[in-house]
Amino acid sequence: MNIESASAAPIAAASNRRNPGTALRPEMFEGHPANRSAAERRAASLIARRSVKKEWQAAWLVNAVRCIDLTTLAGDDTAERVRRLCAKARQPVAPHIVEGLGIAALKLTTGAVCVYPTMVPHAVKALEGSGVPVASVATGFPAGLMPLKLRLAEIRYAVEEGAHEIDIVITREHVLGGNWTALHHEVRAMREACGAAHLKAILATGDLQTLRNVYGASMVAMQAGADFIKTSTGKEGINATLPVSLVMIRALRDYHDATGYKVGFKPAGGMRSAKDALNWQFLMMEEMGREWLEPSLFRLGASSMLADIERQLEHFVTGRYAASSRHALA
């Protein structure tokens, strides 16, 4: 069955003027209400209300694949591991599944490959001609507790090696202490160091204590010129959750309403199943609309999710589930 026409799977590239940022404007976030109970109720109702089946579910899952940042951030990463990951990014779903779905013309790939700065050259070479961008973490990932000049040097190094996107981490102390000027200054400097590479600002929301802090950090990062705001490094005790993501997405919407600029969103960490992929897309669709279901404005930082998505797609095509290990990343 051909699922390209399914309305749940947007495949046209979203147009987007890059966010230039603004001066620090505390009036846009100070005193902003953030009710945890209300956010939890909204997130729970969204999951309960939304349901997709058969070809519609397959279409949503195919779109999720397009938005995954396939990632390896391990201490024992090697050039060979990065090459294998890039091969999977080029062909994230087995050919017989693609054929069965009728989406060969889509040329399905993942949204990006994300690695450490020293692995960037290997990823760039392995992805040459694929159109898949290389993202690099930087700025002392995951803690970010390095002098600013060293964090900026790491950004420049990754960009010089060929990275198209940079995932930075903010200084949580600035948020916890309410030092919004310092946060704006550091993210602005990081954006300038990125040059033409896009900047994803990781807020590490599990460390920020309150939803008001999450909203404020989101707004300041966007005011400093972030192209994306991202929930987590994946290394915190609490990573991406739907209620916290809802607060960040509301900040995205408020920023867009105030400035006219679109900023992307990336949940990361703690997402493993095809159901998770559906739920985060439902959240984006409900809150931001179809345009925010494109890789230019939405990414999923969850490599382990891909195996379950491929398994569910194989079931849709063949009526059988393959062993989970068959789809696991090498």
Active site residues: 167, 230, 266
Structural contact between residues 142 and 233, judged by C-beta atoms closer than 8 angstroms: yes
- State how far the Cα of 105 lies from the Cα of 98, in Å rounded to an integer: 10
The contacts of residue 215 (CB under 8 Å, 6+ apart) are 29, 32, 34, 247, 248, 250, 251
138 closest CA partner among 207, 203, 202: 202
CA 238 to each of CA 270, 272, 282: distance values in angstroms, whole numbers, following the listed order = 8, 14, 21
162 closest CA partner among 201, 187, 133: 133
The contacts of residue 160 (CB under 8 Å, 6+ apart) are none
Tokens of 310: 């491929």
Residue type, 124: V
Q: Give all strands (DSSP E) within 59-192, no chain letters.
A: 69-71, 112-115, 134-137, 165-169
113 backbone dihedrals φ, ψ, rounded to 5°:
-120, 130
DSSP assignment string, 247-284: HHHHHHHHHHHHHS---EEE-BSS--SHHHHHHHHHHH
Whose structure tokens read 């949580």?
A: 172
- State how far the Cα of 92 lies from the Cα of 310, in Å rounded to an integer: 8
Bridge partner list, 201: 168, 229
Buried b (16+ CB within 10 A) or exposed e, 287-299: bbeebbbbbbbbb
